[in-house]
Structure 1
Amino acid sequence: MAEKFSRWDAVDHLATEATRKAYLNACLEEDPGDGSLVRAALGDIARARGMSKLARDTGISREGLYRALSAEGNPEFATVMRVIRALGLHLHAA
């Protein structure tokens, strides 16, 4: 019998606010300095919460959000902050 594998997706593990916060914090700590992990984390959290709702809350189109938070994306800091606020998250300096 052949084994069946499914693709692992972080979204499947981001059901609670606590897990989303922990995930973003881990990505902030491990980001190599180019924002790639933070961008990926925000994209995963956005998909877990619902990209359509986030689009309404930020005033940015779904397509624009997918583009900005993709691996090739290069969102402006203002866009990142709008997304973070709309997701109910906060950035803190220590």
Structure 2
Amino acid sequence: MSETAPRPKLVDFGATRYLDNDEAIAEYLSTALEANDADFLQLALGDAVRAKGMKQVARDAGLSPEGLHKTLAPGAQPGFETVVKLCAPWGCS
């Protein structure tokens, strides 16, 4: 009887670990915009917000932390103006 090798343990990928400065965040968000995929953009915005800090980004965008949380929730459909407010600090376009 042969023994099978143990399966490697996979770790969840967290983009926030790599978004450690504004330039990295801007590049990530620009890539998400270029992909022309609303779900990917929403995911990228959530990663950027978590990397920068929910309270700080909410304050900078003129949103409440609760409103920002709802905006980034799976299935949410944030308006264009809200997305622009969230992207503005990183100059993504």
TM class by smaller structure:
0.7 to 0.9
Give the alignment's Cα RMSD to 1 decimal: 2.0
1:7–1:91 Cα change, 3 Å:
closer
Query: Which structure has more RCO (C-alpha within 8 Å, separation ≥ 6)?
Result: 2
Equivalences for 1:1-94 in 2 at 5 Å? 5-32=10-37, 35-85=38-88, 88-92=89-93
**Structure 2, unaligned runs of 5 or more:** 1-5
Q: How many residues align?
A: 88
1:39–1:2 Cα change, 3 Å:
closer
Identity score, percent:
32
CA contact (8 A) 2:29 2:92 kept: no
**Dislocated runs of 4+, deviation >3 Å:** 1-6
TM-score, normalization by structure 1: 0.77
**Structure 1, unaligned runs of 5 or more:** none
TM-score, normalization by structure 2: 0.78
1:60–1:5 Cα change, 3 Å:
same
Amino acid at match of 1:17: D
Alpha-carbon shift at residue 70 of structure 1 (Å): 2.4
In 2, Cα distance between equivalents of 1:65 and 1:38: 15
In 1, Cα distance between equivalents of 2:29 and 2:63: 21
